Amino acid sequence: MPAPLIFDAHLDLAMNAIEWNRDLTRPLAEIRSREAHLRDKPDRGRGTVSLPEMRRGRIAVCVATQLARLEHDAYSPVFGWRSPAQAWAMTQAQLAWYRAMEESGEMVAITNRATLEAHLALWRDADDATATRLPIGYLRSLEGADSLITLDHLARAHADGLRALGPAHYGPGVYAQGTNTTGPFPPRGLELLRVAGELGLILDLTHLSDDCCRQALELYRGPLWASHHNARTLVPHQRQLADEQFLALASRGGVVGVCLDAWMMIPHWTRGQTTPQSADLHLTKLVEHIDHYCQLAGNARHVGLGTDLDGAFGTEQTPQDLDSIADLQRLPALLRARGYAESDIAGILSENFLRFLRTALP
């Protein structure tokens, strides 16, 4: 029997292709070799994601982002752009890359239930040899809304196939307060929620401040998920999902994707100092976050994978037993060892998010 299909709810593929200058169609070893001499990014020579590796790991479908934040003078932990027009232009460059991947047969856009089911039918019974020739399905999400010059631009993005929206990223945003900030949605953000609801977009709670997250859960009547969040109870930080937030999301039928960024997996991680070896970090830590959510919900129906494995970090900040995104296939054995039934494992790997999309997509 072929290995199970995996759904990854958060990858920054286009950011890596455009801003990191990575040809993701090439073998991972080649990508690492080409950039081993570079020092401009912390993950140079240590990336874990490429399209061939996704096929090898049977990651048949992913949520792939467009990401271009503004650079705020008071808070700039990551690079941003100086104007919404520049940020919008970057998202359009990223969109052009996705379109080029479609034209070359490397990827296929998932925009409705019909395209989802047709794509899954291609993958479901494919053996490993066949899988190496299949396209990766992707559902496009906008991570952070800073690039929306006006809300008409959100309608344009939706018409172009955008199906999910996370209003915030790190720090303060134009439309929402993000990670490491406090406060509610500004008036423009409340209008963003209204328009997103009218368009039927999936709202991503990831990166929202606690105040904004509370408002989103109260006000947004459309579908909700948290694409890449670990459990705050296990690793205390505002970037993580608190128990009450998870339970509120689950009560709405939402799903949370657990993330493989090391500092979100274990407490007391210091970037650039702690290593997977010094912290004895393995994939079992991710299983602990999965299990925490399942115990809270009383079932395994509201958790999946949102790895963020190409989110500006590589093997310097992933578990020791994960060298490539294909190593997600180690998770079924770890979940079995934890006592999870096969049906629950299938749900965590893909079916929970797929069930969500069968009602959330047009």
For the chain, domain boundaries: 6-360
Task: Give the pLDDT score at 75.
Answer: 52
- Does 80 have pLDDT greater than 90? no
Phi (first) and psi of residue 315, to 5 degrees: -65, -10
CA 339/CA 324 separation, integer angstroms: 25
Query: Alpha-carbon distance 340 to 58, whole Å?
Result: 21
pLDDT at site 125: 86
Q: Read off the pLDDT of residues 99-142 as tens digits, 9 standing for 90 and up.
A: 999 999 999 999 999 999 999 999 998 999 999 999 999 999 99
**What pTM, to 2 d.p., does this model score?**
0.97
Fold classified for 6-360: TIM Barrel (3.20.20)
Taking residues 77-85, report their average pLDDT.
82
What the block records as the tokens of 20 is 């990191």
Token pair in block for residue 330? 């180690």
Half-sphere exposure of 8 (CA within 13 A, CB side): 30
Cβ-Cβ contacts under 8 Å for 198 (sequence gap 6 or more)? none
Residue 113 tokens read as 């239930």
Give me the pLDDT at residue 77, please.
54
Distance (Å) of CA 92 to CA 18, 95, 96, 237, 350: 11, 5, 6, 33, 29
- Give the mean pLDDT of 293-322: 98
User: In 104-139, which positions are buried (b, 16+ CB within 10 angstroms) versus exposed (e)?
Assistant: eebbbbbbeeebbeebbeebeebeeeebeebbbbbb
Q: What is d(CA 222, CA 193) in angstroms, rounded to the nearest whole number? A: 9
- Percent of the chain clearing pLDDT 70 (strictly above): 98
Read off the pLDDT of each residue in 144-159 and give the average, rounded to a whole number.
Answer: 98
Region 191-203: what's the mean pLDDT? 98
- pLDDT of 76 higher than 60: no
Q: Report the pLDDT averaged over residues 192-196.
A: 98
Whole-number average pLDDT of the chain = 96
Kindly tell me if the per-residue pLDDT of 74 is higher than 70.
Answer: no
What average pLDDT score do residues 258-283 get? 96
Give the pLDDT mean for 289-314.
Answer: 98
Give the pLDDT confidence score for residue 1 in this predicted structure. 75
DSSP string, 265-295: HSTT--TTT--TTTTT--THHHHHHHHHHHH
According to the model, what pLDDT value does residue 78 have?
60
pLDDT tens by residue, 12-69: 999 999 999 999 999 999 999 999 999 999 999 999 999 999 999 999 999 999 999 9
In the block, tokens 């909700």 appear at: 224
Tokens of 146: 């800073």
Lowest mean pLDDT among 75-79, 96-100, 198-202, 258-262: 75-79
Phi first, then psi: give them for residue 285, nearest 5 degrees: -65, -35
**Residue 223: which pLDDT band, with cuts at 50, 70 and 90?**
very high
Burial per residue of 50-87, b for 16 or more beta-carbon CB atoms within 10 angstroms, e otherwise: bbbbbbbbbbbbbbbbbbbbbbeeeeeeeebbeebeeb
Q: pLDDT at position 111, please? A: 98
Q: What is the mean pLDDT of residues 180-195?
A: 97
